[in-house]
Amino acid sequence: MGGAVSAGEDNDELIDNLKEAQYIRTELVEQAFRAIDRADYYLEEFKENAYKDLAWKHGNIHLSAPCIYSEVMEALDLQPGLSFLNLGSGTGYLSSMVGLILGPFGVNHGVELHSDVIEYAKQKLDFFIRTSESFDKFDFCEPSFVTGNCLEISPDCAQYDRVYCGAGVQKEHEEYMKNLLKVGGVLVMPLEEKLTKITRTGPSAWETKKILAVSFAPLIQPCHSESGKSRLVQLPPVAVRSLQDLARIAIRGTIKKVIHQETVSKNGNGLKNTPRFKRRRVRRRRMETIVFLDKEVFASRISNPSDDNSCEDLEEERREEEERTPPETKPDPPVNFLRQKVLSLPLPDPLKYYLLYYREK
């Protein structure tokens, strides 16, 4: 599934293409997609395909096409502080993007059938927290993953504001999925070959919207134990943050406000995104075509009907274009002002590193 937009040369160009094709339509979703590089969730030997609008699967590891994730993120209508359940959480790519929007007081849970994929997701999450420059630009709701079949969730589990299922849901499981939602909640899932958005408008009232045709592998049915009983999946408890953690969130938030105010005072118009480096388009040169027939030259050149200019005219046009085009340089790497501020505080080093989540520079 995928191939709806052109491939990009990097993550930003892929997002540009998704925006142009109207798969990404809101600023929050765009920011989340730009903050997490899709290639980071690929195995090294497959990264050349990361910016194509195609699904990828290797063993149990799977990523849906970017156009599908875009539609899912838009349909979920995410907001800070909501609770989110990802059924078939896979690599954690989607859960991490969702966590950037939910913020520190949201809930971000995932259920994944394969334990090796859970381990892979935890490695990718750790890499993002330790190394990504985007981490300090957001207040992150870190996802928690549990192993199990999402059709065996304990009936006494809490309900969620937002639920996504990343596998094809059979019609007989539709009610089961709906019951995972709070009133006012949104469920997005592939149902009968359609990506479907279901909103719970009341205790027994629902609104259903078909988004687009999709093709997903179906949910794997539960395997019962020898006793005939299913293995119930216990979702993570809703964690109560410690006072120390709340203090860290508050201090980081205060520093970000100071940085924003300083930027407003300096620029007069608030924070701006770093201008993206645009590659200059290269003019294609005319090609001389040699045609061989029976090892002899049949024609030294095949002319193009539109090729009326001489080589001198083309060369002059090229020089004029170069004169009109200003020299291009890549922008300087972005400065992590939050990190600079924290490190400049008159605090013991261990406390500074705690405020920075012990992240690498």
Catalytic residues: 64
Contacting residues for 48 by C-beta, under 8 A, at least 6 apart: none
Under a CB-based contact definition with an 8 Å cutoff, are residues 140 and 53 in contact?
no
The one-letter code for the residue type at 37 is D
**354 exposed, middle or buried (CB, 10 Å; 0-12, 13-18, 19+)?**
middle
Residue with the two structure tokens 């207040």:
139
SS3 per-residue string spanning the chain: CECCCCCCCCHHHHHHHHHHCCCCCCHHHHHHHHHCCHHHHCCHHHHHHCCCCECEEECCEEECCHHHHHHHHHHHCCCCCCEEEEECCCCCHHHHHHHHHHCCCCEEEEEECCHHHHHHHHHHHHHHHHHCHHHHHCCCCCCEEEECCHHHECCCCCCEEEEEECCEECHHHHHHHHCCEEEEEEEEEEECCEEEEEEEEECCEEEEEEEEECCCCECCCCCCCCCCCCCCECCCCCCCCCHHHHHHHHHHHHHHHHHHHHHHHHHCCCCCCCCCCCCCCCCCCCCCCCEEECCEEEECCCCCCCCCCCHHHHHHHHHHHHHHCCCCCCCCCCCCHHHHHHHHCCCCHHHHHHHCCCCCC
Residues 6+ apart with CB under 8 A from 360: 130, 131
